[in-house]
Amino acid sequence: MKIAVLPGDGIGTEIVAEAVKVLDVLELKFEMESALVGGAAYEAHGHPLPEATLKLAKESDAVLFGAVGDWKYDKLDRPLRPEQAILGLRKNLGLFANFRPAICYEQLVDASSLKPELIAGLDILIIRELTGDIYFGQPRGRRTAVDGHFPGAEEAFDTMRYSRPEVERIARVAFEAARKRSKRVTSVDKANVLETFQFWKDIVTEVGKEYPDVELDHMYVDNAAMQLVKAPKKFDVVVTGNMFGDILSDEAAMLTGSIGMLPSASLNSSNQGLYEPSHGSAPDIAGKGVANPLATILSAAMMLRFSLNQPEAADRIESAVKDVLASGLRTGDIWSEGTKRVGTREMGDAVVAAITKKTITG
Ligand code: NAD
């Protein structure tokens, strides 16, 4: 098994180093190879996703990704901006299913802006379709309106579209994921207004018949946005399209209070995946040794579970993270009165120590 390690920019290098340290201590049999991506790759090779990096990603079973971007690249032509590396990897690896768990750790209940009773024990999984929808539909552009409310005026337009195979495959991913959890799927749409999402709803319902053991319900996206803050624990697996998923997964992430805790995975049909924290490269704290590495360490756990078929090793990491939080260690983003503030490296070391201790004591 091979892992491509792509730390990227800003805090990416600091947090990925901690995840690699945690993977190393597990003593599993896999090879790790690093390459430049994002702004770092642009500086060295003139492109955010150089051929060699893409080749490494393609021939690996999984990609462990840090983060890319910095404000200083905002003036570059769009194809050369660091963020294009993520889009390039998604496209070239055919990553169509984005998994964003939102878990509220007992010790971090106060970090949420919601009342503790609404959030304690929260464990939901948002599955977002990544390759279709209005983000990629053609045609799109600007033109002079020939009809509508203001004929003759300048207008812009995008196209929302989904094909049957695209909806079928993401629906299957959601039902399969639900089978490993509490067997409930909520499909989020806007079928009352959009043809594309009536089609989506019909197909998810059809696919659902292949999974009689999984309970399926449907919810309009506006209601889902409300329910996520009103009663988030009602949800288990949520599956939705690219645009609604983009918004709802950030909303769900914020329920837990800290972006530094949230892993994510993007998978293709052969379970090859890209694993990254949900946050960005945090240029404001880069190089200071204060970033929270736990989202990246938890992304490595997801990688072991989904792409490398090592569920026990994934459990060990997740349980070590819980132990470290229970011991009161916190990076600045999750720090509160009465806990001990530590830096990126100390947090990584603490997770390694928790894994080693469990190994020794059995
Ligand atoms: P960001 O997620 O990088 O930072 C938002 C805030 O959260 C900042 O105050 C930052 O210090 C804090 N933060 C983020 N991760 C943290 C961590 N692990 N520990 C502690 N604090 C953390 O978002 P932004 O500031 O909007 O974007 C910064 C750069 O990252 C931009 O160039 C943006 O394009 C890029 N970005 C990249 C990705 C990605 O690589 N997938 C995602 C989002 C943003």
Q: What pLDDT score was predicted for residue 112?
A: 85
pLDDT digits (tens, 9 = 90+) for 80-120: 999 999 989 998 999 999 999 999 988 888 888 899 999 99
Among candidate residues 123, 158, 202, 246, the one labeled active-site is 246
Q: What is the pTM (predicted TM-score) of this model?
A: 0.91
281 lines ligand 1 (CB under 6 A): yes
Catalytic annotation on 201?
A: no
Q: What pLDDT score was predicted for residue 113?
A: 86
**Mean per-residue pLDDT of the chain:** 95
299, pLDDT greater than 60: yes
Written as one string, the DSSP assignment of 123-190 is EEEEEEE-S-GGGT-SS-EEEE-SSSSSTTSEEEE------HHHHHHHHHHHHHHHHTTTSEEEEEE-
d(CA 267, CA 277): 15
Q: How many CB atoms within 10 Å of residue 31?
A: 10
Q: What pLDDT score was predicted for residue 95?
A: 97
Helix (H) or strand (E) holding 194: none
Report the separation in Å between the CA atom of 61 and the middle of ligand 1, taken as the mean of its atom positions: 26
Find out if CATH 3.40.1640.10 is the number for domain 98-262.
Answer: no
* Over residues 321-342, mean pLDDT: 93
Q: What pLDDT score was predicted for residue 180?
A: 87
Q: What fold is seen in the domain 1-96+268-362?
A: Isopropylmalate Dehydrogenase (3.40.718)
pLDDT band at 286 (very low <50, low <70, confident <90, very high): very high
283 lines ligand 1 (CB under 6 A): yes
253 lines ligand 1 (CB under 6 A): no
Report the separation in Å between the CA atom of 234 and the middle of ligand 1, taken as the mean of its atom positions: 29
Report the separation in Å between the CA atom of 127 and the middle of ligand 1, taken as the mean of its atom positions: 21
Domain range annotation of the chain? 1-96+268-362, 98-262
Ligand 1, residues 9, 279, 333: which to mutate, most atoms within 8 A of Cβ? Answer: 279
The ligand 1 atom at the shortest distance from the C-alpha of residue 291 is 19
Q: What pLDDT score was predicted for residue 124?
A: 95
Q: What pLDDT score was predicted for residue 359?
A: 64
1-96+268-362 and 98-262: identical CATH topology: yes
pLDDT digits (tens, 9 = 90+) for 112-167: 889 999 999 999 999 999 999 998 899 999 999 999 999 999 999 999 999 999 99
Q: What pLDDT score was predicted for residue 147?
A: 93
d(CA 336, CA 256): 15
